[in-house]
Every structure is written in C-alpha cells, then in structure tokens.
Amino acid sequence: MTSGVADRLPSVLIANRGEIACRVIRTARRLGMRTIAVYSEADANAPHVAMAHEAYLIGPAPARESYLVADKILDVAKASGAACIHPGYGFLSENADFSDLCARNGIVFVGPPASAIRAMGLKDAAKALVEKADVPVVPGYHGATQDGAFLANEAARIGYPVLIKAVAGGGGKGMKRVENEGAFAAALESAQREARSAFGDARVLVEKYVLSPRHIEIQIFADAHGNVVHLFERDCSLQRRHQKVIEEAPAPGMPPEVRAAMGKAAVEAARAVGYVGAGTVEFIADGRGGLTPEGFFFMEMNTRLQVEHPVTEAITALDLVELQFRVAAGEKLPFAQGDLKIDGHAVEARVYAEDPENGFLPSTGKLWALRLPGGDGIRVDSGVAEGGEVTPFYDPMIAKVIAHAGTRDEALAKLAAALGETVVAGPKSNVAFLKALCEADGFREGKFDTGFIERNLEKLGAVKQPLDAIAVCEGALALIDDEWERENSYRHSRAPGESLDSPWWSNVDGFQLAGRRRHGMSLVVDGERTAADVEWLREGPVVSFKDAQATFDDRFWTNSDHNFPRIPDGVIVLRNGRQTTVSLFDPFSVDIDEADGDAVLKSPMHGKLVALFVEKDQPVKKGDRVAIVEAMKMEHVLTAPRDGVVSEIAAQAGQQIAQGAKIAVVHGE
C-alpha cells in the first residue's frame, strides 16, 4: 500500500495512554503523521509521552478527571491543530457523543460512525438488531425492565446457571455468573454497582450461561464505500473473571464451514449498522461437541480495535491501525475477502501487574526491573518502562507478548520460552502463571473452554505457594554482598583515625582461629519476619534456610544483576517467574495492630471502599461480608477471617484507601 494518509490526515491526537498509545504512535509516525499525546499527572513520564512529537497535560491521575473528559481532549486537539483523533480502546473509544463532538468540530474520529457505536453500544439493543439480520443470539432477557424481583423471575425462567451482564461496556466489568436463585440478589447488586462505576450505566441483561463455552470473535473491517470483510477469527476462551488472558488466531479446531458461517454472520451484523472501520463481533460457542455451524451465538460487537488485534496482524501480515487511518482518510479497502489468507498461528499473552497467588489482585508500585523478550517471531507491545510506576488508577497491563510460528505447537512453545525470559520486579506479575498456562496439557491439546483456568488454578500455580527457600538464601547473600560494598566504600572514605563501627558480617573472610562461625540473620521475607543461618567459611559465607542452602559461586555472581534487583529496603529475588522480597529485619517496624491478636482487615490494594456491611460492636461469623474495595473498576470482597465482634471501623464507604490501609478490626470471641 502506498502512503498517502499523511496528505489527508497530517496529524493525529491519540486519546489514550499505555501500550495502545505507543502502538498507534508507531504506525502514525511510519505513515509520516505528526503525533500528539495527552497525559494525566500520573503519566507525565510515561513512554507514550516521550514517543509523540507533542504532548499535553489534561488533568489529575483519575481517568474521570483526565482521559475520560471529552472537552479536555477536544481542546487539545483544536489547540494543536490535530486533523484526527485515534481513541485506541477503552476510555472514549466507544463513546458516540465524543464521536459526534469530533464531527461537529471538523476533526476526523478514527472509528465507526456515532450511529454504529450507539446501535452496538448497548448489548440489549444490539442483540435485537442482529436478530433481524438472522444472526443467532443467546437465549435470555434483553429488555428494559430493571426491577430486581422481575430479573430474578426472568433468571428462573431462563434456567440456572445464568450470566448477568452490564448493558454498556465490556471487559468483564459488571458481569456475574450466578449458579442458583439464592445467589442472584447479591450478584445483581454487585454487577449493577460495577457497571455504574465503569460505564455510568447500571442496566443489565440476563442470559443463559452456555455450558463448556468457547469465546470466539471475528475481526471485521469496513470502508465508507460499502465494502465489508472479515479477517478471520480469534479464540479468546482462556479467561478469568471474564477477562481475557491468552488469545490466539486462528481458533483451534475451527472447521472451514464454521469459519465461513461465523464470518458471514459477523459481516451481516456490521452491515446492519452501516459500520465503517475496525470492529469485532464476539460469539459464544458451545464447545461440548466441537464447533458447528449451528452451535454459536452473538454476544456483542466491540466498535473499536481490540487489545488482542496483534494476533490477527501476525496471521494476515496487515497493520490494522494503518487500515484504520486509511479508511478514516476515505480510502477503499485494498483487498477483497478472497484475497485474504491465514499464515501460520499466533498467540498473545497479557502480562499484568497482579498476584496470581492472591486471587489475581492488582499489584502496584515501582518497576525496579523490567526485561521483555525478543527474537524471531516474537513481538512485544508495552507502555511502561523500567523505573516507571504501575499506579492504581488504570488497567495494570505491563505488556503483551505475541508469538507467531508455522503451527500452534510451535507458537505456544515460542511464547512459553519468551515468557521464561521475561523479568518483572516490583509489582507482582502473572509471568509464571502465563508460562504454566502455555505449557498446560489440556490447553496444548486444544481441550479447553472459558472455565479452563478456574478448573486448573492449582496446577497453574495460581494458589498460595510455599516460600521459595532457595530465593531466601540467595536474597540473604545479596544483602551481605550489599553490606560489603557499603563497608568497603566507608573504609576508603573515613577520616584518618576515625573508628570503624562494623556489623558482624563486615569481616569478609569470616575466618577465626577457633574455626567456623555461625550467626542467625533476622530477615523479613515477603512481609513476614523469619531468620536464616549464616556460616562463615574461609571461602565465604553460606546461608541456610529451612532445607535450602546457597553460597557465593560463579552462577550467583554472574547473574546477580539479572536476578536480584535492589530496592530501598532490601532485594527482590527472581526465580522461575516468581519474586521473593528479602530485607533485614528492622525491630522498629513491628505492626502494632497485629500485636494484640485481633484480626485486622486491611485493603489488599489501592482503591475505593464502595461498601461497608458492618458497624462497630456488630457480631460477625467467619466468611461474612465486611467490605467491598473497588480497584481497576473491579470489586473485591473482604470477609471476616474469624467469628467475633467488630471492635473498630477505621474507614468510611466512598473513601479512597491505600494498599494496606486498615478498614476494620474483628475481635475474637
């Protein structure tokens, strides 16, 4: 394709952040376009800001005060002379009012018409629309009535299990699977609260939950000249909490006739709303007997680019962002359906700052080390850098790692190897979990559905793991090494005659006429106090912890920079995709709240306390709901860890709270 986009669209404002902003900027710059970034106060030093030709501050960290404020975005677009706005995904990408606002101000919106966004933006209306185009939909209630009792009756009519889904938005927010009538009311309340917070719209629909579901989506593209094609399918069935974890293209076990039927249904859905640009039509398929032309149902249409679009780019050799710009500039699609072919197989893994061993809770903080893989057939899309911060304000994605090869087995092996080379230190990450998932037997064999991860959490290492004793030993050695470095620096810098106050490990060889020396070493490992044993030999120290032992050998010294990123109060030891934080015990850092034996409920992350279900002096039973903390637009329920009485309430509903902040105290009976 020859480049003429920059003649018609010489500049673009990217109304987004993170990896998608970086990804759009790369293509726009290649096409010769001037790139304009926007950023919040939290993103002042973000990579997308540095990559763009120009960048403008648009407000405080919370998205509702910056990236979601359409007027601020438009003001920057007009001040900078932007010819078009690319919304990326999330934020304003599916906001029809924003699309209209751009049009009224003579700025091209790189996306579908506002009419198409409105038609597909609400799941209930979209299902009614595509039904008229003979596209199959999941049985359920898609009407306007939102009364709780009415919806409960509809759920009973449909038959459990059912799925409550927010009418607006996506990404698993406002979505709850309900197994029985007794759980419906609480699930509805939570879904509505999440939907209101994430999308400003609390309305939901109720659908039959398809057993052994496969989540398969079709990438479509349309121009303003009536041409609509599909770019084949992606399988997004590996999910947790309805959020995609690994995506691949093409879908395993996809017969040609089913691909043709799904592709035709997706194209018809796009035609039904006069679609223009990139979009994705999502289907749920009954995977119990293999994929069949009669066994799939329309779920929704995403009127934007998808996070997982790189796997489609890999198997088609197309740049979807470039196609978006070309269509927005008025060009025709440069190919017909018959021109498109599938080349090999591609798999994408989403590397997140989250803790798989602790319910996949989001993890925040400074990235003390970040090393992303490379090599033939490996692509990495990222929007963060080493030394940057993962904040509680946005989606905690660190990177997308994509592998492309001739076959599915080769692509999965290549992805697993790439994840094995990936280093993330600071916030917890899901790297080890993703690698285990790529190597899991059922997934490798193509025997999986959307419940695969939940059924295999233990096998995938996504449960609390034993403390890594070798990591503790190596961390202790690293701390000793650091102390030696400080000691040597002090020896050379002190004034003549100045005394040298030295800790017990400052004698480098540790040799005594009496022979070996042993000392206990007080440590804090992953927040818990413990102790290791240090034995000083003529060759150097040996650290023992539980049944593990480590000494200074060639491997330790050779890999010390790679495996042991230093943090202000200690060291992070990276082993097998997991990280263990080791520091010297500070006797003045004892948590007084824990000392009296009460159960102190603390926030597991930075977020908002959206609900508090208890009062002071109220009796509670183990497992009772105490509070709900919202972070990354998802709700996390805190329950009473024991029977007892609430002796203290330390926070109020609606309050922003920090990770580790005390919420309530339960006094044991």
Angstrom distance (rounded) from CA 567 to CA 427: 12
Mind giving me the DSSP string for 378-410? EEEEES--TT-EE-TTS--EEEEEEEEESSHHH
Angstrom distance (rounded) from CA 419 to CA 203: 39
Token pair for 313 = 């780019």
The pair phi, psi for residue 96, each rounded to 5°, is -65, -35
Distant-in-sequence contacts of 637-642, Cβ < 8 A, 24+ apart: 638/601, 638/603, 638/604, 638/663, 640/599, 640/601, 640/666, 641/599, 641/601, 641/666, 642/599, 642/666, 642/668
- Write the burial class of residue 507 (CB in 10 Å: 0-12 exposed, 13-18 middle, 19+ buried): middle
Angstrom distance (rounded) from CA 63 to CA 86: 17
Angstrom distance (rounded) from CA 29 to CA 126: 36
Distances from the Cα of 37 to the Cα of 48, 51, 390, angstroms: 7, 8, 19
Helix, strand, coil share (%) of the chain residues, nearest 5? 30, 30, 40
In contact, 112 and 277? CB cutoff 8 Å: yes
**Of 263, 216, 222, which Cα lies nearest the Cα of 238?**
216
Q: How many CB atoms lie under 10 A from the CB of residue 426?
A: 24
**Of 450, 457, 455, 453, which Cα lies nearest the Cα of 210?**
450
In contact, 15 and 73? CB cutoff 8 Å: yes
Select which of 304, 326, 379, 578 is catalytic.
304
Angstrom distance (rounded) from CA 8 to CA 15: 20
Mind giving me the DSSP string for 545-565? ETTEEEE--HHHHHTHHHH--
Could you tell me whether strands 84-86 and 108-109 are parallel, antiparallel, or unpaired per DSSP bridges? Answer: parallel
Strand partners, 164: 176, 206
Mind giving me the DSSP string for 289-334? T---TTSEEEEEEE-S--TTHHHHHHHHT--HHHHHHHHHTTPPPS
Strand partners, 233: 218
In contact, 35 and 29? CB cutoff 8 Å: yes
Angstrom distance (rounded) from CA 525 to CA 580: 7
In contact, 28 and 21? CB cutoff 8 Å: no
Q: Is 566 a catalytic residue?
A: no
Torsion over CA: 27, 31, 32, 36 (sign): negative
Residue keyed to tokens 């691909």: 259
Q: Please count the helices (runs of H) and the strands (runs of E) in the chain.
A: 20, 38
Cis ω before 161 (30° cut-off from 0) = yes
Residue keyed to tokens 């993890």: 363
Residues annotated catalytic, as ranges: 304
